[in-house]
């Protein structure tokens, strides 16, 4: 079988979660005898991979030249199935629909929560509104009336896209069965019988185990909207003077990396280290605790990867799939959404107890087996091959 992964950018496994998942699945499919290709809209990062191709027109995804190139590519490579990894993007999806003209099967994947940005609106947009002096508005968006108004506007904007996505795709994959509830919000009674919840697989095969150090780790984009790294720094500021033998390591790049370094200095934080864009493996190996302070997520790869290395996860219960990954107080800790004091207290207890860290670490390694590539990959192949 010949499989084409369609995405907005380069499939570089070192760049982001969708890219790493795509790369991991592609290698698995090839190990099972299938041929895989990548087709991107924008060449965002250089990579030496002969499976990677790009659309010729970077100005508009659904330009005539790109549609012609896409359909010709399907015929030239005798593609049997297109996997649309940009299911949240209307333009990428519109391009993908053209595969039906050539009788090629289509699977569309939604790699995020569909409603969390609205449900957690005040938290997601706090930094952005503060920069323009409008943060005073945000508390009002938590009222039932304004929340329902925001949801209504959001539905008007995206309902047609998700309804079309389900109609034009042979299958739509969500990152959890629990996200079906969010998808139904847009459907207006339309059937979602072709929608399936399939999680991301773990991406590392060989795990090197070394003695854990007194390190708290963050891996991901550095921003103050979705990832809320600014909040992580504030939390660390309530701990660093009590745990002087611990450190906070921030691995990742982003538009706000430099501003987060400035914030760290303003808060006079101790033992905070920014590493920029790096391979996270060596950091997973030595860290004891993994912190996530996101306002929303889909099914975060970094959380799964950290647990694979026995790093104990602590995260806000701010996205539906969080409970798919973390069993609270068993293999990690889930914090009531955006409760800073609870987050600080939880970290303090973990940092004070080697026994509790060790217990949670072993449980995390055991839990993550449900995301094993052999299990998730076979779920994909059951559908692709049949």
For the stretch 243-278, pLDDT in tens is 999 999 999 998 899 999 999 999 999 999 999 999
The mean pLDDT of the chain is 93
What is the Cα–Cα distance from 118 to 345, expressed in whole angstroms? 28
pLDDT band at 24 (very low <50, low <70, confident <90, very high): very high
Least confident range of 75-79, 126-130, 262-266, 279-283: 126-130
Q: Give the model confidence (pLDDT) of 151-195 as tens digits.
A: 999 999 999 999 999 999 999 999 999 999 999 999 999 999 999
Confidence of residue 311 (pLDDT cuts 50, 70, 90): very high
pTM over 0.85: yes
User: Which residues have a Cβ under 8 Å from the Cβ of 2 and sit 6 or more positions away?
Assistant: 34, 35, 36, 37, 77, 78, 79, 80, 81
Could you read off the pLDDT of 76-116 as tens digits, one per residue? 999 999 999 999 999 999 999 999 999 999 999 999 999 98
- Residue 328, beta-bridge partner list: 332
**Annotation: CATH topology of 215-371:** Rossmann fold (3.40.50)
Is residue 208 predicted with pLDDT exceeding 80?
no
Ranges of CATH 3.40.50.2000 domains, the chain = 2-114+158-200+373-385, 215-371
The CATH H-level (homologous superfamily) assignment of domain 2-114+158-200+373-385 is Glycogen Phosphorylase B; (3.40.50.2000)
CB atoms within 10 A of CB 138: 17
Average pLDDT estimate for 61-86:
97
Band of residue 138 on the pLDDT scale cut at 50, 70, 90: confident
The mean pLDDT value for 322-347 works out to: 96
Q: 74 vs 50, 55, 69, 141, 222, CA distance in Å? A: 17, 13, 9, 46, 37
Distance (Å, rounded) from C-alpha 247 to C-alpha 185? 43
312, pLDDT greater than 90: yes
pLDDT score of 48: 85
Higher local confidence (pLDDT), 280 or 126: 280
Element (H, E) at 86: none
Question: pLDDT above 90 covers what percent of the chain?
Answer: 81
């Amino acid at each position: 079988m010949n499989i084409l992964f369609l995405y907005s950018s380069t499939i570089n496994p070192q760049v982001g979660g969708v890219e790493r998942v795509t790369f991991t699945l592609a290698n698995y499919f090839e190990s099972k005898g299938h041929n895989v290709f990548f087709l991107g809209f924008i060449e965002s990062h250089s990579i030496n991979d002969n499976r990677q191709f790009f659309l010729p027109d970077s100005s508009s995804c659904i330009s005539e030249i790109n549609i012609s190139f896409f359909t010709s590519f399907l015929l030239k490579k005798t593609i049997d199935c297109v996997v649309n990894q940009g299911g949240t993007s209307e333009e990428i999806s519109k391009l993908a629909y053209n595969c039906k003209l050539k009788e090629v099967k289509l699977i569309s994947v939604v790699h995020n929560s569909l409603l969390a940005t609205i449900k957690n609106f005040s938290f997601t947009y706090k930094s952005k509104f503060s920069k323009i002096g409008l943060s005073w508005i945000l508390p009002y968006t938590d009222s039932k009336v304004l929340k329902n108004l925001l949801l209504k506007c959001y539905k008007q904007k995206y309902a047609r896209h998700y309804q079309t996505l389900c109609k034009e795709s042979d299958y739509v994959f969500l990152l959890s069965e629990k996200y079906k509830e969010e998808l139904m919000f847009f459907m207006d009674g339309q059937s979602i019988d072709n929608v399936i919840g399939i999680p991301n697989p773990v991406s590392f095969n060989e795990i090197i185990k070394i003695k854990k150090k007194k390190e708290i780790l963050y891996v991901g984009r550095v921003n103050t909207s979705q990832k809320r790294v600014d909040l992580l720094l504030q939390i660390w500021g309530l701990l660093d003077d009590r745990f002087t033998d611990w450190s906070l390591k921030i691995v990742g790049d982003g538009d706000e990396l430099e501003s987060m370094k400035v914030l760290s200095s303003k808060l006079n934080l101790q033992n905070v280290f920014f590493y920029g864009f790096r391979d996270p493996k060596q950091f997973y190996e030595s860290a004891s605790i993994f912190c996530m302070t996101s306002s929303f997520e889909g099914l975060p790869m970094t959380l799964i990867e950290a647990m694979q290395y026995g790093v104990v996860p602590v995260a806000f219960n701010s996205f539906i799939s969080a409970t798919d990954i973390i069993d609270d107080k068993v293999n990690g800790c889930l914090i009531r959404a955006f409760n800073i004091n609870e987050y600080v207290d939880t970290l303090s207890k973990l940092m004070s107890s080697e026994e509790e860290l060790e217990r949670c670490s072993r449980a995390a390694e055991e839990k993550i087996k449900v995301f094993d590539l052999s299990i998730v990959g076979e779920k994909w192949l059951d559908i692709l091959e049949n």
